[in-house]
Structures are given as structure tokens and as C-alpha cells.
């Protein structure tokens, strides 16, 4: 997994021999508080991030499920992080979007600054029984690696996506509520918003938007685009955990086998 600082990391998946283009990285802030985990200082001065999943051409032409890769950018288009999935081949091919995974989040020095982990649960994902431990999807967010910073836990609901964002002590800090109807595929040309509320559900503090990527990309690939907005002064740890929410939402609702269109 050795990569050059000014290029996108490449995974050991089929098709990874393709050369990635040069990218413009966001410069790190000069000063950050001592409470900020190393590597998360990039998030201190942003109130919006963009998450772009990379198109895997081998997957498009063969339907062989490959590991997901994402660019994380600021509103100016400067790259902040690169995220790459690590998962078992058998689970990727047989379990699809319910597979367990480890998402490695790297900075421009190729240092892993954050790790997002979801354990495989064969019966998880149903919103009606998500409050049962074995049925609710959950991710653990570590920054630095080895130190838990927070969790995202699927919560029970009737129809809509429902998540609780928890701190390291599992106290609820934020809640995420998605639309009742999740539209997938090339026919859905509108953004789909997952609103972020405070723990008491009295004030909206941000949102995660799944953005339409264009007809061709939506029809033949599973490469999704997301926008995440939050207050500038939000705890940097919660900003990082909200990035983890994006990965969970993408896997649960948009990691469909769109390239099998025949």
C-alpha cells in the first residue's frame, strides 16, 4: 500500500495498474488545538466536504466487485484525504453491500489518519429491528488508529434511514434522518438529503447529500458523489465521524449492482 504523496493511492485490486492523475492537495492549517487528533487538522477550517467515489473500470466491464475508493475534497476541489476499502474477496462477491470492511483514510503524506470499521453481520440492515444488536449496522471510527473517536449506529425506524452518531463513551451527540424513499439508479436526477440534527432533534445542524452523478455514470457504475455540510465550529471529531456516516450510507443504500444492467 505504498503510494506517492502527490498521487492517488492504488489498491491491489484487478485494474489497479491504471495510473491515477495528479491531484491538488489542501494545505494543512498552521495552528490547531492540542485536542485535535493528528491528521484531522484539515477539517478544522472547513464547513463542507465532498466525497467522490472512484470509478473502477474492471468492475464496470466484468461485474467483479472490487474495493471501493474515495477522494475527500474541500469546497474548492482540493483533496483532503483518500479513502480505500479493505475487505474479504468472498464477502465482496457473495454479500455485496452487507459485507464487513475497514476503510483506511490517508492524508497527503500517505499516513493513515483515520480508520472506519464495520463488522460483518449476516442479518443486519433492516430498519424495523435495528435496535437489536445483531440487526443494526454499526461502524467504529478511530483517530488516530487504535483510539476510538466515535460510533455510528443504525437506529430503529418505520421506513426511513435512521442513525445515531455517538461519541467514544457511546453518548448520542447527533442524529441522522434520511428520506422515506431512497431513489437509486440513472432515473433519479435529484439530490437525496440525509439531514443531521442535534441529539434532541430540535435543531438541524447539517446534512449529507447524495448527489446525482450524471446519467451514464449512474447507469453503468456504482461510483457515487456525496456532499457533507456542518457548522464550522463543530467538534472536529464529530466532523470526522460524519465522514464515516457517508461510507455507511453509501454501502447500505447505493452500493447496488448497477453495472449488471442486462
What's residue 224's pLDDT? Answer: 84
The grid cell for 207 is: 446534512
pLDDT band at 15 (very low <50, low <70, confident <90, very high): very low
Look at residue 28 and tell me if it is in a domain.
no
> Residue 142 — very low, low, confident or very high, per pLDDT cuts 50/70/90?
very high
Residue 214 lies in a domain: yes
Give the CATH number of the domain where residue 108 resides.
Answer: 3.20.90
- Name the residue range of residue 187's domain: 40-254
Higher-pLDDT residue of 6 and 137 is 137
Domain count, the chain: 1
Residue 238 in any domain: the answer is yes
Residue 256: its pLDDT value, please? 66
Q: Tens digits of per-residue pLDDT, 162-193? A: 999 999 999 999 999 999 877 665 456 678 89
- Mean pLDDT across the stretch 187-213? 87
**What percent of the chain has a predicted confidence (pLDDT) above 70?**
81
Residue 118 within any structural domain of the chain: yes
- Within a domain: 10: no
Q: For 96-134, how does the pLDDT look when each residue is reduced to its tens digit (9 = 90+)?
A: 888 999 999 999 889 999 999 999 987 787 888 888 888
Q: CA angle at residue 109 from 108 to 115, to 5 degrees? A: 80
CB atoms within 10 A of CB 201: 9
Inside any domain, residue 188: yes
Write out pLDDT tens, residues 16-28.
444 455 778 998 8
User: Mean pLDDT across the stretch 186-206?
Assistant: 86
Q: Is the CA virtual torsion 34, 38, 42, 43 positive or negative?
A: negative
**Alpha carbons 158 and 151: distance in angstroms, whole number:** 22
Residue 169 placed within a domain: yes
How is residue 96 annotated by DSSP? Answer: G
φ and ψ of 237, to 5 deg = -65, -40
pLDDT at 165 (0 to 100): 98
In a domain, 19, yes or no: no
Q: Hey, what's the cell of 152?
A: 455510528
The residue-averaged pLDDT of 212-233 equals 71
Using alpha carbons, select from 242, 243, 245, 261 the residue that is nearest to residue 253.
245
Quote the pLDDT of residue 214.
53
Amino acid at each position: 500500500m505504498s503510494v506517492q504523496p502527490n498521487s492517488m493511492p492504488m489498491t491491489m485490486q484487478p485494474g489497479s495498474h491504471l495510473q491515477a492523475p495528479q491531484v491538488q492537495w489542501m494545505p494543512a492549517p498552521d495552528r490547531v488545538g492540542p485536542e485535535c487528533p493528528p491528521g484531522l487538522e484539515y477539517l478544522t477550517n472547513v464547513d463542507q466536504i465532498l466525497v467522490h467515489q472512484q470509478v473502477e473500470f474492471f468492475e464496470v466491464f466484468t461485474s467483479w466487485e472490487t474495493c471501493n475508493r474515495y477522494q475527500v475534497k474541500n469546497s474548492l476541489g482540493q483533496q483532503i484525504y483518500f479513502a480505500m476499502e479493505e475487505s474479504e474477496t468472498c464477502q465482496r462477491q457473495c454479500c455485496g453491500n452487507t459485507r464487513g470492511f475497514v476503510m483506511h483514510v490517508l492524508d497527503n503524506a500517505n499516513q493513515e489518519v483515520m480508520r472506519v470499521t464495520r463488522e460483518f453481520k449476516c442479518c443486519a440492515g433492516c430498519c424495523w429491528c435495528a435496535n437489536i444488536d445483531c440487526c443494526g449496522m454499526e461502524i467504529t471510527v478511530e483517530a488516530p488508529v487504535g483510539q476510538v473517536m466515535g460510533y455510528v449506529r443504525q437506529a430503529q425506524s418505520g421506513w426511513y434511514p435512521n442513525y445515531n452518531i455517538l461519541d467514544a463513551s457511546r453518548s448520542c451527540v447527533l442524529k441522522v434522518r434520511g428520506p422515506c424513499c431512497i431513489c437509486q439508479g440513472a432515473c433519479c436526477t435529484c439530490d437525496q438529503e440525509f439531514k443531521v440534527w442535534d441529539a434532541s432533534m430540535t435543531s438541524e445542524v447539517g446534512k449529507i447529500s447524495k448527489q446525482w452523478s450524471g446519467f451514464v455514470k449512474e447507469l453503468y457504475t456504482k461510483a457515487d458523489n456525496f456532499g457533507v455540510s456542518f457548522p464550522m465550529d463543530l467538534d472536529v471529531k464529530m466532523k470526522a465521524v460524519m465522514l464515516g456516516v457517508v461510507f455507511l450510507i453509501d454501502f447500505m443504500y447505493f452500493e447496488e449492482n448497477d453495472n449488471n444492467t442486462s
